[in-house]
A and B are shown apart, each in its own frame.
Chain A
Amino acid sequence: MDNHPSPGALEDLKIIELPMLDAMPFFAASWAGKTMAELGAEVLKIEPPKIGAQDRRYGPIGRGGSDAETRALHLYLDCNKLSATLDLNDRRGRDLLMRLLDGADVLFNPNPPALNDRMELSWRTLCARFPRLIAVSTTFFGTDSRYRDFRGGDLVATQMSGVGYETPFNQVTDPPNHPPLRAAERQADYMTGYTAAAAAMAAIEGRKRSGKGQHVDVSQWLAMVSTIRINVGELSHDSPRAGMHRRLFVRRKTNAGWIYPCRDGFISFRSSPGNFWEGAVRMMDSPEWTRDPLFETETLRLKNSDALDALLTSWFMEHTKQEIFERAQAQGVPCFPLYDIREVAENEQYKARGFFQQCEHPVAGRFTMPGPPYRMSRTPAAIRRPAPRLGEHNAIIFCERLKMPRDQFEALQLEGVI
């Protein structure tokens, strides 16, 4: 299936990704696996027999085939991975996992600490047995936390981290009826996954020096808190600005906030600080009102931002998002059109860069999907193989790699261990 000629940056690494066995959807480990797989690492996804991992059970379903093979999250997150099925609740399944871990570089394990203890898959056990293994736990609260046995997940982590407190961003106008929000989709899971991948790479670097693996403890809650670090810094430095991070701070009070309506939708626009204001004035062909003493300085513009926003908006309402985008950028003012999903899919910038990639899948057919987050000039991240069918690599993994006799393999399949 390998159809991409260039080497991956991580092509020498062997990674095992365990399925989330708790019922709470949690895609951090799968995201970490995706991040490593698109850079060329061999990522073996262990899935529960028959039902498969959560990626096959959540999110939109593609046309044709069964749910388990055409779920959007599976097609996207499991691209470039191998799939083998193992019942980890069965000792024989766990014994086979142990044999696979012998020689693996990294393990991504999303399961709660208590469950790992019960299955004898705790990091202490694994690190003692496989001294070169980098065992990465991606859990809701961390394996040592007093919250280690509590359920978390995307919504809970978002709200407990302070991110929910500021979402929607600067737009709460009716507090009792506007609950704090999460970001779209599963940002807390994905942020945790990226954090786990970066931390795993750090441990890989460390192993080059020490020869030893280690445990890497990644908490979803803490990963999300790390995204409000500036708020923490302001508070801990007794900055008067700390008060600005209040949920009930309505958008217009923050001056030249972020999102404004325009003739055909919305734009994101920023006219602060001062040099951006000067550009904004030029962008609008210097209307009379911009010389009003009310708006003369940054401080005054902040103070009079209700009036300023109303005047800016009246100009935006006469122009399309594309016009405003181009005129603002021509004056060096930060501004982007606010795209809906079709516009994202069809925009010229992504097209010119080839951001969207084509994938050919035996069940889902040919489809388009977003590409990797970075362009690496020597080792481009790429689609090397489509998402695997459930257990697609069982024979290769168990019979060829582990040299399991065919009759034993078939017996274990019959019994549901594989």
Chain B
Amino acid sequence: MSDLPLAGVRVADFGWIFAVPHTTSWLGALGADVIRIESPKRPDLVRFLGATEGKPGINRSGLFHSINFSKRSIALDLNTQAGAGVARRLISMSDIVVENFGTGVMARFGLDYEHLRALKPDVVMMSGTPLGQTGPYAGAIGYGPNSLAFSGISHLTGYPGGEPSGIGGTWPDFVVGVVMAMGALAALHHRDRTGEGQYIDLSIAEMVTGMIPEAMMDFFLNGREHGPIGNRDPDIAPHGVFPTAGDDRWVAIVTVSDAEFTALCEVLEAPATAADARFSTMAARLQNVDALERELGELTRRLDRDELVAKLRAKGIAAGPMYNTAEVMADAAMVESGMNIELDHKEAGRRVIPVLPVSFSGFTPNYYGGPAIGEHTDQVLSELLGYSSEEIARLRAGGGVL
């Protein structure tokens, strides 16, 4: 345990839904003692999604478990003085506080940064909201996928000339989770060197806008306005997803040189395509990309997806199958990767949980299954926060501790 990078670091986790729970699972896996504050009166909606084997129950959400490993849970009512008081005692013993309530909610609990730094001057606090803590629309609420609309990326994602779209995997929530982990760790590093804490304000929409630099920079540099281009790349053709034999089976193919395009045509047994003047150079293929994609699609349509992928890989061409979730999990390299591991859960049993997508040669992350709601209330209040069992009983009777 002690060789974990964040051993000795405590995190007070006021997160919910997807983004911040992902952040704190990262921190917990890295060895931090993450204590998630929950309220059975107003539980995380995620606790009701994806019930294990279809049997409902607040501690049975597979969805919750996939983003809440490696942390403890305590149950408080922050709307009560007593509940907020317990939270304050926890914060006074924490290094990092992280939250993604709507702007202003932490202040209502008396838990905004100004209050927190009075409790713990070197605390690092980080908030994530759709549009940030300041500005005329600071209070705007929304899920991560709603923020995509504001950021410009929805305008750019879609079929060429078609309607705007969102992105799979409830994008950008899990990107936000990692970026917030990065921000918190950077601030922790600064604190370790200087003794200074700080407040970090993340706007999800701004983060996503920062991830479409080609469109933003082309607008600012040249006044050009980009729209959706599907799977295409402005500099590379083919760069697409093509149908193969069977129902909804597709293959992604990218060739970055003329030689690779020739090799692709060999695999497809299409000498006429290889010899076609419209496709003879990268510039020509880009110019005739509609015809190119149509022709390649006709060629791939009759082929077995996995055989085609294997042949293309053998030629050094970038190719991969379009996978659904079950196929992702079943892929031999995924099984071997150590990213999907079995963790135990009191009510859900032993289940596969996707953990960090990274391996470290110096340590094994600390992975354990997600908590039942309030599972660690007594443990944390007595062992860590020093409440006696009588005090805990009194807090419970008063409704501050749930």
Say whether A associates with B: yes
Report whether B221 and A72 are in contact in the complex, using a CB–CB cutoff of 8 Å: yes
Report whether B221 and A336 are in contact in the complex, using a CB–CB cutoff of 8 Å: no
- Chain B residues near A371 (CB-CB < 8 A): 206, 210
Q: Which of B26, B230, B358 has the most CB of A within 10 A?
A: B358
Given contacts A201-B186, A239-B54, A344-B209, contact A339 B152 (CB under 8 A): yes
Closest Cβ of chain B to A191, distance in Å, is: 6
- Chain A residues near B190 (CB-CB < 8 A): 7, 9-10, 378-379
- Chain A residues near B161 (CB-CB < 8 A): none
- Chain B residues near A75 (CB-CB < 8 A): 217, 221
Closest Cβ of chain A to B264, distance in Å, is: 12
CA distance A136 to B154 in the complex (A): 32
Q: Mark B216-233, 1 if CB is under 8 A from A, else 0.
A: 111111101111111101
Say which residue of B131, B169, B328, B354 sits within 8 Å of A160 (CB atoms): B328
Q: Which of A165, A168, A230, A343 has the most CB of B within 10 A?
A: A230
Report whether B241 and A209 are in contact in the complex, using a CB–CB cutoff of 8 Å: no
Report whether B325 and A245 are in contact in the complex, using a CB–CB cutoff of 8 Å: yes
Report whether A237 and B187 are in contact in the complex, using a CB–CB cutoff of 8 Å: no
Given contacts A145-B336, A229-B67, A376-B200, contact A160 B358 (CB under 8 A): no
Report whether A248 and B248 are in contact in the complex, using a CB–CB cutoff of 8 Å: yes
B148 within 8 A of A: yes
B106 within 8 A of A: no
- Chain B residues near A150 (CB-CB < 8 A): 313, 318
Q: Mark B338-352, 1 if CB is under 8 A from A, else 0.
A: 011000000010011
Report whether B192 and A217 are in contact in the complex, using a CB–CB cutoff of 8 Å: no
Given contacts A159-B321, A225-B328, A227-B169, contact A202 B6 (CB under 8 A): yes
CA distance A168 to B171 in the complex (A): 11
Report whether B152 and A341 are in contact in the complex, using a CB–CB cutoff of 8 Å: yes
Report whether A373 and B206 are in contact in the complex, using a CB–CB cutoff of 8 Å: yes
Say which residue of B26, B30, B153, B210 sits within 8 Å of A205 (CB atoms): B30
| Segment at the B interface, from A262-270, A286-294, A388-396 | A262-270
Report whether B142 and A227 are in contact in the complex, using a CB–CB cutoff of 8 Å: no
CA distance A384 to B163 in the complex (A): 39
Main secondary structure on A side of the interface with B: mixed
A345 within 8 A of B: yes
Closest Cβ of chain B to A32, distance in Å, is: 10
Which residue from chain B places its CB closest to the CB of A248 in the assembled complex? B248
Report whether B221 and A367 are in contact in the complex, using a CB–CB cutoff of 8 Å: yes
Which residue from chain B places its CB closest to the CB of A378 in the assembled complex? B198
Report whether A336 and B150 are in contact in the complex, using a CB–CB cutoff of 8 Å: yes
Given contacts A229-B174, A235-B329, A332-B141, contact A338 B164 (CB under 8 A): yes
A408 within 8 A of B: no
A316 within 8 A of B: no
Q: Mark B181-203, 1 if CB is under 8 A from A, else 0.
A: 11101111110110011111111
Q: Mark A60-84, 1 if CB is under 8 A from B, else 0.
A: 1011000000101101110000000
Report whether B132 and A375 are in contact in the complex, using a CB–CB cutoff of 8 Å: yes
| Segment at the A interface, from B80-88, B249-257, B381-389 | B249-257
Q: Mark B132-143, 1 if CB is under 8 A from A, else 0.
A: 111111011111
Report whether B322 and A60 are in contact in the complex, using a CB–CB cutoff of 8 Å: no
- Chain A residues near B220 (CB-CB < 8 A): 345, 356, 367-369
- Chain B residues near A235 (CB-CB < 8 A): 62, 325-326, 329
Q: How big is the B interface, by class? A: 35 or more
Q: How many residues on A have C-beta within 8 angstroms of the other chain's C-beta atoms?
A: 154
Report whether A76 and B146 are in contact in the complex, using a CB–CB cutoff of 8 Å: no
- Chain B residues near A268 (CB-CB < 8 A): 142, 145-146, 148-150, 154, 166
Q: Would you give 15 A-B contacts (Cβ < 8 Å), ordered by A?
A: A146-B333, A155-B252, A160-B320, A165-B322, A165-B323, A184-B157, A195-B358, A199-B356, A206-B3, A214-B363, A219-B358, A242-B325, A342-B219, A377-B199, A378-B190
- Chain A residues near B3 (CB-CB < 8 A): 206, 209-210
Q: Mark A348-389, 1 if CB is under 8 A from B, else 0.
A: 111011011000000010011111111111110000000000
Closest Cβ of chain B to A104, distance in Å, is: 16
Report whether A155 and B221 are in contact in the complex, using a CB–CB cutoff of 8 Å: no
Given contacts A185-B215, A206-B5, contact A336 B169 (CB under 8 A): no
CA distance A129 to B130 in the complex (A): 45
Q: Mark A9-26, 1 if CB is under 8 A from B, else 0.
A: 110100000000001110
A236 within 8 A of B: yes
B368 within 8 A of A: no
A142 within 8 A of B: yes
CA distance A374 to B361 in the complex (A): 30
| Segment at the B interface, from A175-183, A306-314, A409-417 | A175-183
- Chain A residues near B224 (CB-CB < 8 A): 60
- Chain B residues near A216 (CB-CB < 8 A): 358-361
